[in-house]
Each structure stands twice: as structure tokens, then as C-alpha cells.
Amino acid sequence: MPPDDLIVTSGLGHRYGAGTEQEVTALEGVDLRIAQGEFVAVIGPNGSGKSTLARHLNALLLPTEGRVTVNGLDTRDPDHHWSIRQTVGMVFQNPDNQIVATVVEEDVAFGPENLAVPPEEIRRRVDEALALVRMQDYARHAPHLLSGGQKQRVAIAGALAMRPACLVLDEATAMLDPRGRREVLQTVRRLNRDEGLTVVLITHFMEEAALADRVVVLDRGHLVMDGRPEEVFSEVDFLEGIGLGVPQIVGVRRLLEEAGHPIPPSVLTLEAMVDFLCP
């Protein structure tokens, strides 16, 4: 295995309630390699297995078929769980349901406290993590009075304080307003670019997926597409067929192409479209 593959899933399958009448196959035969430093978006309609996949990346769920390795460690071995969860930090959908403490800095300290990091070192990590998400001025605030975007940034800081190599955002922007979404996306993009943090962004906003280096598409538990955003979003009919859309700008591009104006597939974002049409 090449050393730069941080997370590898091979033949990953997951059945809920295996052996019972309500058996549901959530994932089947998923092969995925995520390299150190990548920014990968995972999209798929509701019920496609996105969250199930996310929870396999830090051993919150274990494969019922195939296997997942993080830094070469197999998630099925319980001895590795804490090391894996420290390596792959996770931010969940509901900002209210992942903050444990009644003060922001106490919450950020929660992870390192569990890892038995010495107090002076926790203090350093908390300050550093809050600075990275630009929340240092809120260190002594009560979390329930923050905005949704701010809460999610605190949650990101809580993961960063464990010094992870990878951050998985499980629909972490779904419940936020546009400003909150922008805050969170800017934060993870910056962390990816400047700190070399690997990011796995699970989302149902196509505009967000267009910002990633790579887009993975799930449908009914299967990995059906995996490629650069321009490759994935050129398959408009396919994506619409499985209940997804394309970013509005891609929609405009397609209509323009139908009207006889060829546009390169790399034009996915507003900026790129404006530069192309009106350089």
C-alpha cells in the first residue's frame, strides 16, 4: 500500500440488522482510497449510504463485509479504535447535539482530555484550535448562544484539538443558513490548503461539492462515480436520474452548450464561468 493513502476501504459492505427480517443493505462493495491532503466531496441522495460510509471512516461503524484501514490500521481491531478516532475527526449535522460542555473552550478540550493529554498541552491545543477556526474571542462563551456556523466551527476546533490527519464532515452544513455554510466551508478549505488537512465533505449541496478536488457519488449503497468535479458534473442526466442535481452554474452551462456554445468542462463555478464568458 502506498504510504500516502490515509484511508482505504476495500469491498466495504454494511448491513443493518443483519440476519433479521428488517435487514437493510446500506453499503455494498465500496472501494475507495483517500490520500493524505485530499479534499473529497461525497454526494448522494438521502438513503444512499453517505452517513454510513462516513461512520466507517473512524470506526463508529464496523464493516459487515470487506474492510477499512486508516493509516494502515484495520478498523475491525478494537485496539485501534482510539488511535483511528484521533486520526479521523468528525463533525456531525446537528450543531446542538455534539457540543458537550457549557463553555466553548471546555468543549474543545474534551477530546484531548479523553486522550489524557497533560493540562498545559491541552491549553496550548485549545488555543491553537480555536485560532485555526477564528473563534478565539469566544473561548469563554456559552455554546448555546452562538450561531449555527459558529457552533460548527467550535465542533471543528474540538476535532482539531485531537490533532487529526483527516476531518470528516457528515452533512455538517445541512442545518445552517447561507452565512453559516460559508463560514464552515471557508474554514475547511483553508485548513485543507494551509494545514494539509485531509477533508471528506459529505453534502447534498452541489455547489459545495464543486469546490472539492474530487467528487464521489453514492447511490443505494454503491459507489457509482468517482472523479474530478468537472468529470462528475458533466453527467447531468445521470445525476438527475438518481435524484441529485448539478450546481446552477453547470445547469446554465449545459443550456448554453445545447444552444451551440461549447464551454470547457472545467467551468463549474461562478468565477470560472464569468472568466470564460467575459475574460
Partner 1 sequence: MSIETVDLTHVYMPGTERAVVAVDRVSLRIDDGETVGIMGPTGSGKSTLIQHFNGLLRPTSGRVLIDGEDLWPREKDGPRTADLHKVRRKVGLIFQFPEHQLFEESVYDDIAFGPRNLGLPEEEVRRRVTVALRMVGVPEDEAEALGRRSPFSLSGGQMRRVAIAGVLAMRPATLVLDEPTAGLDPRGRLELLETLSRLHRRWGLTLVVVSHNMEDLAALVDRVIILDQGRLILDGPTREVFRDPESLRRLGLDAPPVVALMHALAARGAQVDVSRLSPREAAEEIDQWIRAGRPRRAGSGREGDAGLVHV
Partner 2 sequence: MSMFRDITIGQYLSGSSVVHRLDPRTKITIVGVFMVVLFAATDAAAYATLTAFTVLAVHLARVPARMLLRGLRPVLILLVLTFTLQLFLTPGRTMFTLGPLVASWEGLRMGLFMVARLLLLLVMASLLTLTTSPVSLTDGLESILAPFRVVGLPAHELAMMMTIALRFIPTLMEEADKIMKAQMARGADFESRSLSRRIRSLVPLLVPLFVSAFRRADELATAMEARCYRGGRHRTRLNRLRATALDAAAAALTGFMAAVVIGLRWWPG
Footprint of partner 1 on this chain (CB under 8 A)?
45-47, 93, 147-148, 174-175, 177-180, 182, 185-186, 204, 206-208, 211, 243-245, 247-249, 251-252, 255-256, 259, 261, 270-271, 273-274, 277-278
Nearest approach, Cβ of residue 91 and partner 2 (Å)? 9
If the CB atoms of residues 105 and 207 are measured against partner 1, the closer one turns out to be: 207
* 163 touches partner 2 (CB under 8 A): no
Cα 210 to Cα 213: distance, rounded to the nearest angstrom: 8
Q: Report CA-CA distances (Å) from 235 to 11, 57, 120, 240, 273.
A: 25, 27, 52, 9, 18
Nearest approach, Cβ of residue 251 and partner 2 (Å)? 34
* 201 touches partner 2 (CB under 8 A): no
Binding-site member from 12, 27, 68, 126 for partner 2 (CB under 8 A): 126
Other beta carbons within 10 Å of 202: 27
If the CB atoms of residues 112 and 229 are measured against partner 2, the closer one turns out to be: 112
Nearest approach, Cβ of residue 119 and partner 2 (Å)? 6
* 87 touches partner 2 (CB under 8 A): no
Binding-site member from 48, 52, 69, 98 for partner 2 (CB under 8 A): 98
The entry of partner 1, partner 2, none near residue 271 (CB within 5 to 8 angstroms by kind) is: partner 1
Query: Look-up: residue for cell 455547489?
Result: 207
Binding-site member from 24, 100, 255, 277 for partner 2 (CB under 8 A): 100
Nearest approach, Cβ of residue 44 and partner 2 (Å)? 20
* 232 touches partner 2 (CB under 8 A): no
The entry of partner 1, partner 2, none near residue 245 (CB within 5 to 8 angstroms by kind) is: partner 1
Nearest approach, Cβ of residue 17 and partner 1 (Å)? 14
Name 219's bridge partners. Answer: 222
* 171 touches partner 2 (CB under 8 A): no
The closest of 166, 203, 153 to 56, measured between CA atoms, is 166
Positive/negative CA dihedral, 204, 150, 95, 161: positive
Name every residue whose Cβ is closer than 8 Å to that of residue 145 and which is 6 or more positions away in sequence. Answer: none
The entry of partner 1, partner 2, none near residue 24 (CB within 5 to 8 angstroms by kind) is: none
* 53 touches partner 2 (CB under 8 A): no
Residues near partner 2 (CB under 8 A): 55, 58, 60, 82, 85-86, 89-90, 92, 94, 96-103, 105-106, 109-119, 122-123, 126, 143-144, 158-159, 162
